[in-house]
Amino acid sequence: MRKILIRGTVIIILLLGIFFLARTLPYAKDALRTENVDGFSKDWLLTIEGSSIGKVIDLPYDIHEDEASQTITIQKRLPLYNFPNPSLRIGTGNLKFKVFLDGELIYRFDSLSALNNGKPVGNACLIVDLPEDCFGKEVKIEFKSCDKQAIDILYKVEFGTRDYNILVMYSYSSVEMMIAFSLVLIGVLILILIILVNFKYKTGYENLYLVGLIGCIVIWIIGQSQGYLFIYNNFAFNYYIQLNVLFLFPVLMYRYIYHRYNMEYKRVTLWLSDIHLGYWALILIAQLFELLSLNVLERGYIIFFCITLFVCMGIVLQEVNKNRRYLVGILTIAILIILINIFKRDIQSVSISMKVMISTIILLEGAIIFKITYGLLKLLETNNYNRFLKIQLNNQLEHYILLEQKYISYRKIQHDMKNHWKVVNQLACENNIGEVQHYTALMLDEVEKQRRKVFDTGNPILDAILTEKFYIASTLGIKVTHEILIKKNIAIDLLDWCSIYGNALDNAIEACKKVEDLRWINIKIYYKEGQLICKISNGINSSLPIDINYKTTKENKEIHGFGLKNIKKSVEKYGGELQISHTREVFEIAFVLFEV
């Protein structure tokens, strides 16, 4: 029965599948035609305006025969093929051109000359649609540069179906688009990390400049790869966005360096950022009033960026701290972008593939950004740890300095009161006043008891800590026993006294508070030949589990989670090692401080 049901189900699925597939047949369209003419970039007739030059060339072709503002013409006859939607794919670099078919103008590209004082600017790769009867006719393309520089290279011209030319352009930009997409993911990841870290530690949003730098690189990659054609096919818009991103990059880069790294002359980087911001505004104003062409402005920007970059590099090289490698990484990105823009034409004119070159450089940028991100996370972790450590230790130091002052004042009062009541007692004895004698004797005994509760090791901060913790322990019913044999004025920093003994005794008291019956703390401190030897043990609740990493059990873990870490750091400062051990009922720490 089961086999029959399975077979029936399979038959139903097959029949329904065939039925639904049959219903899709009316939606069929003609398949994409990706036909092209192989070798179309070969055997073009080249002529140059105002000269007798006329020769056959293969594209791409490096030109050395022309002068500035001359018109260069290439022409050849289209082959007798027959495919739909014929088109030409023409590459242009800072050129405007016209396309003629049997002498008739069918297309013209003025680049940005209408927006740039009549001068073309920007690189592009364009598809020129041809009429269906173009086969066998002569095509002529006139290139002209209105810039002061002569035309230095003619790129390939491809002939094929429109679908083919679109597919080729997509394949040319696919690698860069994938890399750009991966950088977007990296930027989003860093942005999420920045938000999470700031939400938890309130570190500020200065690292958003790093996200901005990544965004600039992404936009620049998309623009250079012609990938913008598949996002928003607007050559002028792409060029202006790409140009402004280029101007924005140093502004963000220098501000990121200023906020992220603590350098001696870091304020100079902020000035560099402000100068670039002002230069950017002047460029836009100059363009608005048609004072200078974009070509001149872009070249001026590259020179200016090189100057400020060398200034910043000089500041960086003076730094000897470990953060320098991250700064060099960021500056490397800027240098690569400048080099690509300066040598872009030369790279395209040699035999090495521009795609391989660009892809290699972009991958290098990705590796640098990964390194920066990793360093950023480690730096945030260290900064936050040090920030909380400093806050906690400063609070402890202020508290114990105040306790020391109160302790000295209390000792003076004790001394005065003791002498005073001795006189009173003597007077009472002479007058045979029994009640006064008895009362003063009790007072002397109480003063003596109080005196024994105040520590006096000759190390004021340690005395203040022990006295305060002894008092807190006594109010909680904790029995404190101690054996302290040390010399006066031991060479230990005030913060380290607080860090070691303040945290150790706080932890011991906190553990004893969880014990129901017998609460106790034992302190042993010895000094021998420049070594301070210490062991502090306390009772613990055997029914409560102990974290293997000895993490805090207090609610505010961000503030209270550094106790043992602080002790360990201070102990290691004096060449020691913190040893921690425990049994079911006893917790113990021990260490030795050297050369104190």
Hey, what are 84's tokens?
A: 């739909």
- Please state the separation of Cα 491 from the chain's center in Å: 41
CA distance 255 to 269: 7
pLDDT of res. 560: 34
pLDDT at 552: 47
pLDDT in the model for residue 347: 39
- CA 366 to CA 182: how far, in whole Å? 9
Residues 320 and 343: their CA atoms lie apart, in Å, by 33
For the stretch 465-489, pLDDT in tens is: 888 888 888 888 899 999 999 998 8
389-593 belongs to CATH 1.20.1050.10: no
> What token pair was written down for 145?
């540069």
413: confidence class by pLDDT, cuts 50, 70, 90: low
Q: Mean pLDDT over all residues of the chain?
A: 75
Inform me whether the pLDDT recorded for 76 exceeds 90: yes
Q: How far is Cα 260 from Cα 383, in angstroms, rounded to an integer?
A: 11
Cβ-based burial of 484 (10 A; exposed 0-12, middle 13-18, buried ≥19)? middle
What's the confidence (pLDDT) of residue 536? Answer: 96
* Domain range summary for the chain, segments of one domain joined by +: 44-162, 166-388, 389-593
**Of the candidates 588, 567, 587, which has an alpha carbon nearest to the alpha carbon of residue 577?**
567
For residue 230, pLDDT over 70 is answered with: yes
Secondary structure (3-state) at 243: helix
| Alpha carbons 290 and 269: distance in angstroms, whole number | 31
- Which amino acid does the sequence have at 497? W
Length of the chain: 596
Q: Which residues are registered as beta bridge partners of 57? A: 44
- 217 or 384: whose pLDDT is higher? 217
Provide the 8-state DSSP code for 412: H
Write the class of the CATH domain 44-162.
Answer: mainly beta
d(CA 197, CA 566): 22
Stretch 373-397: mean pLDDT, rounded?
Answer: 63
The structure tokens listed for 553 are 């059990």
- How many Cα atoms occupy the beta-carbon half-sphere of 276 within 13 Å? 28
Which residue from 417, 595, 358, 593 is spatially nearest to 496, judged by alpha carbons? 593
Going by pLDDT thresholds of 50, 70 and 90, the confidence category of residue 254 is confident
Q: Render pLDDT for 417-439 as a digit per residue (tens, 0 to 9).
A: 666 666 666 666 766 566 666 66
Residue 352 pLDDT > 50? no
The pair of structure tokens assigned to 159 is 């002939």
Paired tokens of 403: 């306790």
Residue with the bigger pLDDT between 58 and 122: it is 58
Q: How far apart are CA 236 and CA 215, in angstroms?
A: 20
CA distance 417 to 553: 44
CA separation, residue 412 to residues 152, 314, 418 (Å): 94, 60, 10
pTM over 0.75: no
The answer to whether 565 and 529 have CB atoms below 8 angstroms apart is: no
Question: Ranked by mean pLDDT, which of 333-342, 387-396, 540-549, 572-581 comes out on top?
Answer: 572-581
pLDDT band at residue 147 using 50, 70 and 90 as cut-offs: low
Neighbours of 439 (CB within 10 A): 15
Region label for 324, one of left (φ > 0), alpha (ψ between -120 and 50) or beta (otherwise): alpha
What 3-state class would DSSP assign to 90?
strand
- CA 182/CA 207 separation, integer angstroms: 19
Place of tokens 């990964």: 370
